[in-house]
Amino acid sequence: MKQTVIYCRVSTDAQNHGVQLAELRSYCATRKWTNVEEIVDTITGSTSSRKGLDHLMSLVRRGKVGAVVCYKLDRLGRSLAHLVQVVTEFNTHDVALVVPGQGIDTSLSNPAGRFQINILCAVAELEHEMIKERVNSGIAAAKARGVRFGRPVTRDVHRNDIARLRAQGKSGRAIAAALNIPTSPVFRMIAELEAVAA
């Protein structure tokens, strides 16, 4: 039987989980959920890895969780994008997210809660597309200024060095090691030089 997980987070040791836990325990009792595990974190929300949240996500991925009950959304996700990532993973594993104080319940029995999550996901997708658009605009502007992207063009930079070292009888691997470049462009250049000389 899948369990319900109460997840609480506070930012510092000076705070405690008591208020959050009391409210969420009461909520679970009202819903008659008895198979309940409590997971708590004491860490700032901006931290990418949290021991408690990592444990929760491990349980979710193993199919052990039916619902996650949380005090507020900002206790769960460190940013909008992260929150959407967590909620999407919950949906993938058929885990309901319940935030009693904010009226959120994404269980299949609550279409309004599902609607809220769909809006949240749409906002995050819009944010992602806007970031991608800004990045692409920046790349286009840089290219217009003559900035080159990608790996350096080995053939132009090392052509004379490869020809000189090859004339000294060095192998392709020895040339690549001497110039500290990959072997494949060295062998291509050697083949071109020998074709021209033939």
| pLDDT in 10s for each residue of the chain, 198 residues | 789 999 988 877 667 788 889 999 999 999 999 899 999 888 765 555 688 899 999 999 999 999 999 988 888 877 777 888 888 888 889 898 998 888 888 876 777 777 777 776 677 677 768 878 888 888 888 888 887 776 555 555 678 888 888 888 889 899 888 888 888 888 888 888 887 776
CATH number of the domain where residue 35 is located: 3.40.50.1390
Residue 130 inside a domain? The answer is no
Reference 90, options 31, 7, 29, 21; nearest CA is: 7
Of 125, 145, 170, the residue that ends a domain is: 125
Rounded to two decimals, the pTM is 0.59
Q: Which residues are catalytic?
A: 11
CATH number of the domain where residue 177 is located: 1.10.10
Task: Look at the chain and report how many structural domains it folds into.
Answer: 2
Q: Which domain holds residue 178?
A: 154-197
